Amino acid sequence: MKNFWLLCFLLSTLWGVAHDGYDLWLRYDQIADETRLGEYQNAFGGIYFNTDSPTLKVALQEMDRGLSGLLAQSPRFLDTASDGAGLIVLKKVLLDATTLQQVAGDFEGLGRDGFVISPITSNGRKATLITANEDLGILYGVFHFLRQLQMQQPLHALKERSTPKTDIRMLNHWDNLDRTVERGYAGFSIWNWHTLPDLIDQRYIDYARANASIGINATSPTNVNANAEILTPHYLEKVQALARVFRPYGIKVYLTARFSAPIEIGGLQTADPLDTQVRQWWKDKATEIYSLIPDFGGFLVKANSEGQPGPQNYGRTHADGANMLAEALAPHQGTVIWRAFVYSEHDLTDRAKQAFSEFVPVDGQFHTNVMLQVKNGPIDFQPREPFHPMFGAMPKTPLMMEFQITQEYLGFSTHLVFLPRLFEEVLQADTYRKGKGSTVARVIDGSLHGYTRTGMAGVANIGTDINWTGHPFGQANWYGFGRLAWDPYMSSEQIAEEWLRTTFSNERGFLQPMKQLLLGSREAVVHYMNPLGLHHIFDSGHHYGPGPWVDNHSRPEWNPVYYHRADRLGVGFDRTATGSDALQQYAPHWAEKWGDLASCPEEYLLWFHHLPWTYVLKNGHTLWEGMALTYQQGVVEVQQMKNTWAQMAPYVDLEQHDRVSMLLDIQLKEARWWRDACLLYFGQFSGEPLPPGVDAPDHSLGYYQSLKFPYAPGIRPSWDD
């Protein structure tokens, strides 16, 4: 035992202090490559950095922190640029004519948030300039510059002109006021409402730093299943304190507004959006909020969905409800973000059709400061879905993407799943609404329809765990969301490389295998959970593990059997003209392609078709054989992930390596659980044996059906189980 602890001490000395993950991708460890280190030290020996605002002050602090760690020496800040500065950080308005001329062409269209990093000649010597139109652009430029140093890019590569392609880049927290987190798997809420506004936790500041480093500029700290109490003076004072922390980092606060708040906290008898008193109540509430938080972003609203109150309670439309709030916010330049995730127990049509049916007919009826926030797919954050048919179908109403970063349907925080691969798949999908090239990304950035407001939201995976996200690799999904919100055209491969380099190592022996692991991880999850277009077959309520047999809920669409429709004849949901006809909500290109078995991609096969078990797939296997072999493939892929990670021990500190190894053990165990439970269940309908190459289940179907998880994390408290 004594020798064991000696070995641990020697290893910690070799690797430095063990990383607990708290620093996220902002690890500023000394650059190991001595050549690159010397290059940077010589180039950035003197720095001129103008600071005349809170935002520029935090930018300077970040530069000091980053260079002190990366270059192993405290940076020397100069009083003037003429003192031989190798790094100059200045806004455009402060640049002299000679310097401005060297970067003049780079400022066009830069906007408020964009930045330029450029090599220049200053006072006869080579230097690097970070500049922008506004203070916030400087902050973003500093973070990007430090990221390039973390990745050990050569000096000639430190040249960038970058401007965000979306305006609102927001994290949606589903955090409750009691600090539980709906669909949260990384501990409790980081917002300690009890000690706010007087106690400002360092984590609030580090949260703002992390978000600013990837361009996130908005946050809604409370659950979309909203509690009206957040709009009371007692809580608004607490929100004001958070807004004060976030302001230097360019982050605006939005609040989730419960539609029935005028009744619950306002003493009114109705929340009818056309009622004069109700409309005045919201106007007064908006004025109250802006008096405390002058840069308040606006309201995020979930209405008439899953039992939440809304305008339809009073016979009004979504446009009526959204426009009432828009009028209250308009004098303050605030925005209403109205979620399009709606489905009703009173609507017996295909759940996948309901949002399109409710919103597309009222396109053009929303006020100009209203945005509709649309989930990436028509059901609910499944491991794979076709893109939502609303994208491209509402040219007169700005649509804002909603991705889920927290892994509600992808193994919580115990499964390694690189979600930027999923995000990229959706963003690059072509809607064909205005011909070929009408991608979802072009809808989101406004270029397809000329939207004047644009945005992307992600449901956060952040909690009080020391590493923020539970699984160390869950950080990559937060990071990747921010990078794609800034630029929806980034590749998941580039994001993977950036995150691996800044979080772990620049060593080629680590980067190449780990990049492939990340890029293949989402497909592995699809294989062992929802192959060939199966969807929403998760156990109900907590969504933890398989539950394709569940059929006892009062609302049909809460039952997994609703989605797979397995019987002796076959399996799958018919969404063609012979079924729910959900295909008609897509452009004709997709309706024809997905509706025809000859051209429908097999990853969407059972999403759009109910097929016999003997249907022959493109590889010659029957549907049953293909399903079984794909489940098996998913298990094998997780085993391969384990094998790859085992070889990464030389590049990762011992604590991190052990933690991820144990999590991969859990993932492999649960991949087998998914395979065995689903094949036993569907096998009783197919009547066919498992094909060669598929492992026999460890237990009976009855065993898997008996498993209960009443205390699984992240359960919605009011869910009707």
Q: For domain 168-503, give the CATH number.
A: 3.20.20.80
Residues 6+ apart with CB under 8 A from 583: 575, 576, 577, 590, 591, 594, 595, 608
Angle between helices 233-246 and 202-213 (to 10 degrees): 50
Q: What angle do CA 171, 302, 325 make, to 5 degrees?
A: 95
What is the distance between the alpha carbons of residues 367 and 447, in angstroms, rounded to a whole number? 20
Give the mean pLDDT of 480-499: 98
Name the more confident of 96 and 9.
96
3-state secondary structure 491-529: CHHHHHHHHHHHHCCCCHHHHHHHHHHHHHHHHHHHHHH
Closest to 143 measured CA to CA, from 32, 65, 91 = 65
Q: For domain 15-162, give the CATH number.
A: 3.30.379.10
Q: Where are the beta strands (DSSP E) in 340-396?
A: 370-375
pLDDT of 23 > 90? The answer is yes
Classify 66 as helix, strand or coil: helix
Catalytic pick among 272, 306, 498, 676: 306
pLDDT of 193 > 70? The answer is yes
Confidence of residue 11 (pLDDT cuts 50, 70, 90): very low
Closest to 719 measured CA to CA, from 544, 573, 457 = 544
- Place domain 527-573+610-706 in its CATH homologous superfamily: Alpha-glucuronidase, C-terminal domain (3.90.1330.10)
What is the distance between the alpha carbons of residues 602 and 605, in angstroms, rounded to a whole number? 5
Q: What is the pTM of this model?
A: 0.96
Confidence of residue 718 (pLDDT cuts 50, 70, 90): low
Angle between helices 492-503 and 508-529 (to 10 degrees): 120
pLDDT of 345 > 80? The answer is no
The answer to whether residue 380 is catalytic is: yes
How far is the first Cα of the chain from the last one, in angstroms, to the nearest whole number? Answer: 49
- Are the CB atoms for 201 and 464 separated by under 8 Å? no
Q: Given this model, what pLDDT does residue 9 score?
A: 36
Domain locations along the chain: 15-162, 168-503, 527-573+610-706
For the segment 521-537, what is each residue's pLDDT rounded down to a tens digit?
999 999 999 999 999 99
For the segment 387-402, what is each residue's pLDDT rounded down to a tens digit?
999 999 999 999 999 9
Classify 609 as helix, strand or coil: coil
Helix, strand and coil in the chain, % to nearest 5: 45, 10, 45
| Percent of residues, the chain, with pLDDT higher than 90 | 93
For the segment 448-483, what is each residue's pLDDT rounded down to a tens digit?
999 999 999 999 999 999 999 999 999 999 999 999
How far does CA 400 lie from the centroid of its chain? 13
CA–CA distance from 527 to each of 37, 232, 533, 629, 696 (Å)?
44, 47, 10, 9, 17
Confidence of residue 252 (pLDDT cuts 50, 70, 90): very high
pLDDT of 716 > 90? The answer is no
pLDDT of 353 > 60? The answer is yes
Q: Given this model, what pLDDT does residue 105 score?
A: 82
When the pLDDT of each residue in the chain is averaged and rounded to a whole number, the result is 95
Assigned token pair, 523: 């497909």
Residues 6+ apart with CB under 8 A from 626: 531, 532, 602, 617, 619
Q: What angle do CA 445, 588, 365 make, to 5 degrees?
A: 50
How many residues are given for the chain?
721
- Are the CB atoms for 484 and 456 separated by under 8 Å? yes
Catalytic pick among 106, 135, 380, 670: 380
Q: Given this model, what pLDDT does residue 684 score?
A: 98
Q: Given this model, what pLDDT does residue 162 score?
A: 97
Confidence of residue 670 (pLDDT cuts 50, 70, 90): very high
Name the more confident of 7 and 138.
138
Catalytic pick among 408, 430, 445, 487: 408
Closest to 444 measured CA to CA, from 110, 97, 166 = 166
